[in-house]
Structure 1
Amino acid sequence: MFVKICGLSERVHVFDAIEAGADAIGLVLTASPRFVTPEMAKDLVAAAEERVLTVGVFRDEPVAEIERLAAASGVAAVQVHGHRSRAEIAKLTGIGRKLIRAVSFDDETLEENFGENMLLVDAPKPGSGESWDYAAMSELELADVRGRWLLAGGLTPDTVAGAIAAASPWGVDVSSGIETAPGQKSSELIRRFVHAARSASE
């Protein structure tokens, strides 16, 4: 089970995620309570020492700006939200970084393959932190990336095992579900989430 811990802004939580056994960390380089500057992101990438996949998270920025910020921060992958055309995705696959295309469950392109390395499927209300009908994912055919898709939206240390059982994802992604307040990560919740996700997939 691939586990991504998203929205980190402090070194201590990067270390927590790594020590717990996470596979990736997300650094939000777009407007958000979890926003980090390229300089902050670069420091967190350095702290990770390539022990996990470092992912820069973007929303509405144009491709050229994403490329600039990814280079400035040194992230190894970019995750893009919002409605992206095939042409945009094609350009992003050419910037020398892994690409995660994030879509909501009700996105009309959900079952299409745009050439991304991974697909992240979020709640119908992305970023809401609300749980949703995870079992509905088991009814879909996710084109050529069906084996490399991440489940997101409303996951917590207490709900992730049930969500994995219902949706059978390749991986999971969490942000607000490991916080005590918006943008405030909890070391204990990070450890509990990774353990619960790993245990559920054994």
Structure 2
Amino acid sequence: MADPVLIKICGVKNEAILDAAVDAGADIVGFVHFPRSPRHLELDPIAELISMARGRVESCVLLVNPDNTLVAQVAALGPDWIQLHGPETPHRVEAIRDEAGIAIIKACPIGSAEDVAHVAAYAECADRILLDAKPPKGADRPGGLGDTFDWALLKALDPSLGFMLSGGLTPDTVAAAIKAVGPMGVDVSSGVEKTPGVKDAGLVRAFIEKARAASA
């Protein structure tokens, strides 16, 4: 019997959506600290949400190429995970993990076989790998764009490398994604929103239900 798929709801901005995600059975909730994202929150509201999540669900703070000061500020909030969603090198990921003393999810953008080949470099320095669609050239942010990528590219990945799948997943597509790719977890942000940055509790519940049913 395979382990149940982990479910992460990213870009949570308020208590109502946090509660909806927890009540529906999410494993991880993510908070975005990146000013160019429609899901951006300052650190004070993130601290409050982490406190509300504690003991109910794991929490994750998403950062993009953070400096050491920001890493220390976020580590002080006590999330379960820090997600690195920028161009961080394996060496930098390892340094952030050592400095923060917090488990790291490293997002790797996938758009080609070459991108897949780079994933293995993060296997040792990150605690978990998240595969996301590579943003188009000129995009103003590295993820949360609602794009999918060609899952067939992942056939080249080392099968022993567990990963979470992201990139344009929705309640309508998550079951097919789980069956096609066999990820250890799935991550959704824009796919459960009414408008950019505004989550819908009904879509959050539907996503989690479909993901759970597919991995049962």
Return the TM-score normalized by structure 1: 0.92
Q: 1:111 maps to which residue?
A: 120
Distance (whole Å) between structure 1 residues aligned to residue 45 and residue 107 of structure 2: 23
Q: Secondary structure at the match of 2:92?
A: helix
Q: Quick one: which of 75, 86, 89 aligns to 1:82?
A: 86
Answer yes or no: is 1:201 the counterpart of 2:215: yes
Shift of 1:100: 0.3
Q: Which moved more, 1:51-60 or 1:89-98?
A: 89-98
Provide the secondary structure at the position in 1 that maps to 2:34: coil
Could you list the per-position Cα deviations for residues 12-41 of structure 1 after superposition, in whole angstroms to 9, with x for gaps in the alignment?
111111111110000001121101111101
| Equivalences for residues 177-188 of structure 1 within 5 A | 177-188=191-202
Q: Which structure 1 residue ranges, 4+ long, deviate > 3 Å from structure 2?
A: none
3-state SS of 1:110 partner: helix
- Cα deviation digits, residues 38-96 of structure 1 (max 9, x gap): 1101111111132211000001222332222332x332210001221232111122122
Find the partner of 1:139 among 156, 165, 183: 156
Aligned-partner Cα distance in 2 for 1:85–1:50: 32
Deviations 1:104-155 (A, max 9, x none): 014352122242110000012233211221232233116x6x12x1100010
- Per the alignment, residue 120 of structure 1 pairs with 130
CA-atom RMSD, angstroms? 1.5
- Indicate the residue corresponding to 1:19 in structure 2: 23
Partner Cα separation in structure 1 for residue 213 and residue 167 of structure 2: 20
TM-score (norm 2): 0.86
Q: Which residue of 1 aligns with 2:67?
A: 62
Conservation of the 8 A alpha-carbon contact between 1:89 and 1:114: no
Distance 2:72 2:155 in 1: 34
SS in 2 for 1:111: helix
- Residues 158-179 of structure 1 show CA distances to partners (whole Å, capped at 9, x for unaligned) of 0001111111100000000000
Unaligned runs of 5+ in 1: none
Question: Separation in 2 of the partners of 1:84 and 1:60?
Answer: 6
Pair 1:53-2:53 in alignment: no
CA contact (8 A) 2:75 2:101 kept: no
Report how far residue 184 of structure 1 moved: 0.3
Q: Partners of 2:184 and 2:73 in 1: how far apart? A: 30
Q: Percent identity?
A: 35
Report the secondary structure of 1:93's partner residue.
helix
Code of the aligned partner of 2:129 = L
Structure 2 portions without partners, runs of 5+: 136-142
**How far apart in 1 are the matches of 2:202 and 2:27?**
17
Measure the CA separation in 2 of the matches of 1:111 and 1:165: 23
AA at the equivalent of 2:170: T
* Matching residue's letter, 1:104: P
Question: How far did 1:4 drift?
Answer: 0.2
CA contact (8 A) 1:138 1:166 kept: no
Q: What is aligned with 1:173? A: 187
State the distance in 2 between where 1:21 and 1:105 align: 28
In the aligned structure 2, how far is the partner of 1:34 from the partner of 1:6?
9
SS at match of 2:179: helix
Letter paired with 2:196: P
